[in-house]
Amino acid sequence: MAHFVLPNSGHNYDPESSKLGMWLFLFTEILLFGGLFIVYFVYRTINADAFLRASYELNITMGTINTIILITSSMTVAMAITALQKGKEKFAINLLWITLLFAIAFLINKYFEWSIKIEHGIFPGMEHYNGLETGQKLYFFLYYFMTGLHALHIIVGAIFIGFVIKGIQEEKVTANRISLLENSGLYWHLVDLIWIYLFPLFYLIN
């Protein structure tokens, strides 16, 4: 029997396809959150006043801090790509670590935000929540569901970036094989994008 070696075996690197695949995945994410935003708009149309009253419970300062955190972390990921393209692995890794720190800061902030509300009894099933009018209940339900799903994406994105850091250290992700870093960046920016809409719609409208 002849010994066969498949051409390209184990070394298929196709940056264009993997980027296209990542974008297609991001489109499904857009539609996932998009569906929730439609629910939000429908209930807001029906319960405009109740949504408004409920939104005053949210802390604008905390929301603004989290917005700044996410926008800045998007910049550090984008800069990490620039750094790796220029061959500065060390700097790229540091920038990604900073991004992870921002992700943790975002989650800690979110944790305090949620716990303050839960302490006040505002969580589906709790006494204070049950006494609210329907529109306010819907608002808080959507608030927990959408920011919760978003926080889950932050966690996934942070794990993804963790793998990329490992990849750069092991020289599997380099200036010539940058796809993994680029895709983690795309994912991270999408998470930022979703927050860009969540923040004004839940915290700011008056």
**Closer by beta carbon to other proteins, 51 or else 140:** 51
| Burial degree of 187 (CB within 10 A; 0-12, 13-18, 19+) | buried
Tokens (6 digits) for 196: 């860009």
Least separation in angstroms between residue 155's CB and other proteins is 20
Going by the DSSP 8-state scheme, the letter that residue 173 receives in this structure is: S
Please state, in angstroms and rounded to a whole number, the distance separating the CA atoms of residues 143 and 139. Answer: 6
Least separation in angstroms between residue 174's CB and other proteins is 10
Tokens (6 digits) for 42: 């429908």
Least separation in angstroms between residue 192's CB and other proteins is 6
**Closer by beta carbon to other proteins, 16 or else 127:** 16
Q: Which residues bind other proteins (CB under 8 A)?
A: 13, 15-16, 19, 23, 27, 30-31, 34, 37-38, 41-42, 44-46, 60, 64, 67-68, 71-72, 74-75, 77-79, 81-82, 85-86, 176-178, 182, 185-186, 189-190, 192-193, 196-197, 199-201, 203-206
Please state, in angstroms and rounded to a whole number, the distance separating the CA atoms of residues 89 and 95. Answer: 10
Least separation in angstroms between residue 197's CB and other proteins is 5
Query: Which residue matches tokens 């895709």?
Result: 183
